[in-house]
């Protein structure tokens, strides 16, 4: 092989010559699992050892240029962030009760570095104040369109990770991205309602069942796993629906679990670093908050793409093993 590309990976020209879309199975066994074969748990890692899988994922990250694509995603996320929050603001305004957007920003502040969270809250407040009279009809649709651009960029990156060609028309691609954006908004609203009204719900259930305060305390603790589950479902939806090729798994995958844990660890590590070691304001001045936000987007994008690469390598290993089992025996002579 003349190039330095790892064995078993496709170059750019090969990626765009093959596809699995609209129910058409890709004939290349390296790319897409045969949908006729029985479903195998992804936690078996396709028969690979953890070390072999890690090596394949590492090679895949470089072969697919996922570090560069994570940087590209962070750029698109920055422009899609405020339209997404504006869309959420309009939707949350329809929910009676406390200001749910304030609660959302409060939870975001627990993950983001302080400067980035402050920039986010301040900018959103200014935008909402200036556009309060237009956050209806076309304003909401425009915000939704802008927010879905981030989902479109995720789809492009995942197509590379899973080595599939996107043959969808632009309008179908955009509609699917809008649908995923609405799904994410729904999950976010559900999580917020659970946190804001969760204590009241727990007390009402405790009174109805005739149980004591222990149930209420357990309910309050259980809200955190529920939030984690919402985030995990969101990641699984992205892996399942964003790429042009629909994945055959319908359960929690190692890639989705890694993406969630990696995102949480990277977010809190960045927050701790900025709090105790880094001084971005001294280096970047007034744009320090923007730099931190971009860095957080980059780490989040990288966690998402590494998770996708993990799933891709497991699926490829499963397909290779299945092809070997089903191959006719070689003829002698």
307 contacts: CB under 8 Å, gap ≥ 6: 235, 239, 255, 256, 257, 258, 259, 260, 262
Lowest mean pLDDT across 2-11, 91-100, 217-226, 283-292? 2-11
CA separation for the pair 15, 55 (Å, rounded): 21
Region 147-172: mean pLDDT is 88
Lowest mean pLDDT across 31-40, 84-93, 104-113, 120-129? 31-40
State residue 33's pLDDT score. Answer: 44
Confidence class for position 330, pLDDT limits 50, 70, 90: low
Instruction: Give the dihedral of Cα atoms 320, 324, 325, 330; nearest 10 deg.
Output: 170
State residue 11's pLDDT score. Answer: 43
Confidence class for position 333, pLDDT limits 50, 70, 90: very low
Residue 133 has pLDDT above 60, yes or no: no
Q: Which structure tokens are listed for 319?
A: 């397909």
For 248-282, the pLDDT digits (tens) are 666 788 999 999 999 989 888 888 887 776 666 66
C-alpha 202 chain-centroid distance: 30
In this structure, is residue 298 part of a structural domain?
yes
CA separation for the pair 44, 303 (Å, rounded): 21
Max distance between CA atoms of the chain, in angstroms, equals 82
Q: Which is higher by pLDDT, 128 or 85?
A: 85
Specify the number of domains making up the chain: 1
- The share of the chain scoring above pLDDT 70, in percent, equals 67
* Spatial contact of 154 and 240, defined as CB atoms under 8 Å apart: no
For 16-71, the pLDDT digits (tens) are 333 333 333 343 444 444 445 556 788 888 889 999 999 999 999 999 999 999 99
What DSSP designation does 27 have? Answer: S
pTM, two decimals, is: 0.75
State residue 163's pLDDT score. Answer: 86
Q: Which is higher by pLDDT, 2 or 164?
A: 164
State residue 216's pLDDT score. Answer: 66
Q: Which structure tokens are listed for 213?
A: 């305060």
Residue 196 has pLDDT above 70, yes or no: no
In this structure, is residue 273 part of a structural domain?
yes
State residue 108's pLDDT score. Answer: 74
* Spatial contact of 241 and 198, defined as CB atoms under 8 Å apart: no
Task: Find, among 300, 299, 280, the residue nearest to 290 by Cα.
Answer: 280
* Residue whose token pair is 């799904």: 183
In this structure, is residue 171 part of a structural domain?
yes
Q: Which structure tokens are listed for 272?
A: 């701790």
In this structure, is residue 33 part of a structural domain?
no
State residue 158's pLDDT score. Answer: 92
Q: Which structure tokens are listed for 239?
A: 């892996």
CA separation for the pair 243, 245 (Å, rounded): 5
State residue 250's pLDDT score. Answer: 64
In this structure, is residue 263 part of a structural domain?
yes
Region 68-95: mean pLDDT is 79
In this structure, is residue 9 part of a structural domain?
no
- The share of the chain scoring above pLDDT 90, in percent, equals 17
Q: What is the DSSP string of 196-249?
A: HHHHHHHHHHHHHHT--HHHHHHHHHHHHHHHHHHHHHHHHHHHHHSSSSPPS-
Cα–Cα distances in Å, from 11 out to 68, 272, 292?
Answer: 16, 39, 34
In this structure, is residue 120 part of a structural domain?
yes
Domain that holds residue 98: 46-314
Q: What is the DSSP string of 120-133?
A: HHHHHHHHHHHHGG
Residue 156 has pLDDT above 80, yes or no: yes
State residue 113's pLDDT score. Answer: 74
Determine which helix (DSSP H) or strand (DSSP E) holds 173, and give its type and residue range: helix 170-209
Residue 14 has pLDDT above 70, yes or no: no
251 contacts: CB under 8 Å, gap ≥ 6: 41, 42
State residue 119's pLDDT score. Answer: 79
CA separation for the pair 40, 57 (Å, rounded): 20
* Residue whose token pair is 């309008």: 171
Lowest mean pLDDT across 43-52, 79-88, 193-202? 193-202
User: Please, where are the H alpha helices in 18-65?
Assistant: 50-63
SS3 12: helix
In this structure, is residue 139 part of a structural domain?
yes
CA separation for the pair 183, 15 (Å, rounded): 29
pLDDT mean across residues, the chain: 75
């Amino acid at each position: 092989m003349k190039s330095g590309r790892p064995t078993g990976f496709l170059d750019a020209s090969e990626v765009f010559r093959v596809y699995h879309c609209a129910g058409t199975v890709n004939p290349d066994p390296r790319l897409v699992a045969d949908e006729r074969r029985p479903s195998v748990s992804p936690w078996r890692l396709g028969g690979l050892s953890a070390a072999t899988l890690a090596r394949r994922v590492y090679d895949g990250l470089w072969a697919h240029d996922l570090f560069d694509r994570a940087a590209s995603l962070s750029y698109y996320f920055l422009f899609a962030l405020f339209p997404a929050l504006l869309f959420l603001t309009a939707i949350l305004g329809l929910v009676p009760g406390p200001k749910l957007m304030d609660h959302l920003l409060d939870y975001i502040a627990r993950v983001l570095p302080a400067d980035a969270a402050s920039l986010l809250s301040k900018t959103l407040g200014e935008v909402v104040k200036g556009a309060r009279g237009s956050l209806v009809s076309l304003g909401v649709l425009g915000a939704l369109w802008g927010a879905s651009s981030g989902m479109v960029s995720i789809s492009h990156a995942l197509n590379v990770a899973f080595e599939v060609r996107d043959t969808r028309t632009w309008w179908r691609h955009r509609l699917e991205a809008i649908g995923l954006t609405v799904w994410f908004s729904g999950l976010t609203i559900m999580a917020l309602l659970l946190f804001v009204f969760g204590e009241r719900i727990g007390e009402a259930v405790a009174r109805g069942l005739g149980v004591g305060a222990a149930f209420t305390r357990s309910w309050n603790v259980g809200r955190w796993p529920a939030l984690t589950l919402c985030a995990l479902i969101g990641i699984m939806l992205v892996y399942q629906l964003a790429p042009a090729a629909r994945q055959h798994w319908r359960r929690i995958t190692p890639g989705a679990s890694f993406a969630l844990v990696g995102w949480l660890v990277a977010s809190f590590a960045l927050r701790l670093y900025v709090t105790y070691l880094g001084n971005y304001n001294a280096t970047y001045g007034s744009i320090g908050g923007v730099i931190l936000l971009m860095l957080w987007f980059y780490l989040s994008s990288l966690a998402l793409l590494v998770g996708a690469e993990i799933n891709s390598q497991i699926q490829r290993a499963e397909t290779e093993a299945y092809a070997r089992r089903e191959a006719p025996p070689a003829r002698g002579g």
